[in-house]
Structure 1
Amino acid sequence: MTALLASGRDADVYALDERRVLRRYRRGGDVTAEVTVMRYVADHGYPVPRVYEADGADLILERLDGPTMLQALGDGTMHLRDGGVVLADLLDRLHRIRVRSATDPGTRILHLDLHPENVVMTEGGPVVIDWRNSIEGPPELDVAMTAIIIAQVAVKPDHPFTDRAEEFLDVLLSCTRDNPLSQLEAAVRRRATEPHLTDDELAHIHEAKLLVTTIARAHH
């Protein structure tokens, strides 16, 4: 195994060489569904890392050069408003991709974890990573999940992005095409069942829901 590049809540990323990384889920599992989604959206021009190999809990992916959106916002290389506009555009672009097998024409592919830590700002533009939570469903659910995740940061006093998260959320929801309010309850329920959430995050989830409701009503 080569150098550890990053560790998330449930996966580690290792450098293999100058162009490839290994993403390995610590609890095991099967990446087949994740790879299928990534290849499908890539075929429709959506920015995801190239998949080289997939086996069990391991994914060998294109190595991306650049900071995450959160890092770029934190160090000032990306303006807060620009970040909100870019994230809203990534959501809208994803939701324009039709699902061939869907009986409901409104069904789309949902990322369900699309936030600034899962966007890498490469020289060629933003690239979306971490597709493990992706499902098919209504676009409003995806927007609601993104909004809840960002709102949880806004109401969490010790997060380094807390003082800017509410403004970022306001920009995001002012630019999104889909109104998250119709799926907000479903997003909160889904978010509350995620195993990696801390007790503190769970304790503030309804406060986050109220913040999303207030901001979304102002824009939709």
Structure 2
Amino acid sequence: MQGSLGEKIGEGAYSEAYAWAPEQVVKLFKPGVSRWMPWFEVRMLRAVLAAGVPVPEVFGEVTLDGRFGIVLQRLDGPTLLQLTRTGGVTFEEAGAIVAALAMSIHKTPLPPEVLSMREYMEAELGHDDGKLPKHIATEILALIDRLPPGDGLCHTDLSPGNVIMTAEGPRLVDWSGARRGPVALELGFLHIILSELGPEIADNPERPRATNAAAQSEYARLAGMSPADLTAAMEPYLPIVRTFVVLGNVVPSLRERLIQRIEAALRLED
């Protein structure tokens, strides 16, 4: 596609974002990332945009120096994370935005390419290089088989850093981890990201925790259920979420601690 690599404007665990052309950016995946990830994200973005989910438009795909990239609509505005840091929004306001997005996503028709949490887990375990003890892998698959599978769409990374606040409203980016599952799985990912991973890297550990508490409370209100019932529904999925985090090597320094929490939760399930 017509364009050229400009200034770097962002970076995630698996990709970097650069200016590309007027009103466009390129999301360039890091060396070693499977070609499946950008292929899947392109299809997800196009499907959910057509269903009315607020996401950037996809203009095409490129390959630069052997790296795969997606050319996207450039979204102008701060992330919700930046606004919580500066006080531009309160934790309650941030939580309400995240909860509304979660509710909207789970009502979105499921694109056919989306894997179930079991299919996704099997794929991740197939590429495991010793990060996870084998007995945990066996028990996690058994736990997934015991739980209601759910057939809703889950983004799985509804963190404020993936919500860009444009003049037209919030826009949600980073769809490479989407999968099929119950809303309890989505909220479980949000809980782990904001209450266990986020505090490890935040300048103020209470900020992500407060955002998570507000989002969970608001989702319970929107769903017409008590916060206690929502927590109870989410709890069995937390060891599954932690397993995905370990396999993804998202925060390597937390690996041992997360494995201990997975094992403790699995013992409670017995």
Which TM-score band applies after superposition, normalised by the shorter structure? 0.7 to 0.9
1:13 corresponds to which residue?
17
Cα distance in 1 between the residues matched to 2:172 and 2:153: 13
Segment of structure 1 superposing worse, 5-14 or 59-68: 5-14
The yes-or-no answer on 1:125 pairing with 2:169 is yes
Cα distance, 1:196 vs. partner? 3.2
Aligned partner of residue 60 in structure 1, secondary structure: strand
Are the aligned partners of 1:192 and 1:205 in contact in 2 as well (CA < 8 Å)?
yes
1:108 maps to which residue? 152
Aligned partner of 2:52 among 30, 34, 45 = 45
Residues 100 and 2 (structure 1), Cα distance of their counterparts in 2 relative to 1, 3 Å cut: closer
- Shift in Å, 1:153: 4.4
2:39 to 32, 49, 54: 32
Secondary structure at 2:248's aligned position in 1? coil
1:182 aligns with one of 230, 236, 259: 236
Q: Which residue of 2 aligns with 1:218?
A: none
Structure 1 residues 161, 94: closer, same or farther in 2, change over 3 A?
farther
Aligned with 1:4 (options 8, 11, 14): 8
CA deviations on 1:46-73 (whole Å, 9 max, x unpaired) are: 0111000024621000001001110011
Q: Equivalent residue for 2:141? A: none
Label 1:160 to 1:105 Cα distance change in 2 as closer, same or farther (>3 A).
closer
Q: Which runs of 4+ in 1 moved over 6 A?
A: 102-105, 206-209
* Residue identity opposite 2:205 in structure 1: T
Tell me whether 84-93 or 189-198 shows the greater mean CA deviation.
189-198
Structure 1 partner of 2:76? 65
Bigger helix share: 2
Gaps of 5+ in 1: 210-220
Count of matched residue pairs: 207
Distance in 1, matches of 2:71 and 2:164, equals 17
Question: Which amino acid counterpart does residue 180 of structure 2 have in structure 1?
Answer: E
Alpha-carbon separation, structure 2, partners of 1:91 and 1:134: 12
Larger Rg: 2
**TM-align CA RMSD:** 2.5
Matched, 1:148 2:152: no
Note if 1:92 corresponds to 2:96: no
1:170–1:194 CA distance, 2 compared to 1 (3 A): same
| Counterpart AA for 2:54 | P
Match of 2:255 in 1: 202
Give the SS at the match of 1:16: strand
Q: Is the 8 A contact 1:47 1:127 kept in 2?
A: yes
Q: Identity of paired residues, percent?
A: 24
Structure 2 spans left out of the alignment, 5+ residues:
117-147, 224-229, 263-270
Query: What is aligned with 2:88?
Result: 77
Q: Which deviates the most, 178-187 or 109-118? A: 178-187
What secondary structure, in the 3-state scheme, does the structure 2 residue paired with 1:193 have?
A: helix
Q: CA deviation at 1:100?
A: 6.4
1:164 aligned partner: 207
The more displaced of 178-187 and 7-16 is 178-187
Q: Which amino acid aligns with 2:34?
A: G
CA distance, structure 2, for counterparts of residue 55 and residue 137 of structure 1: 31
- Cα contact 1:145–1:191 (8 A) shared by 2: no
> In 2, Cα distance between the equivalents of 1:124 and 1:208?
41
Q: 1:11 to 1:100 in 2, by over 3 A?
A: closer
Q: TM-score of the superposition, structure 1-length normalised?
A: 0.84
Normalised by the length of structure 2, the TM-score is: 0.69
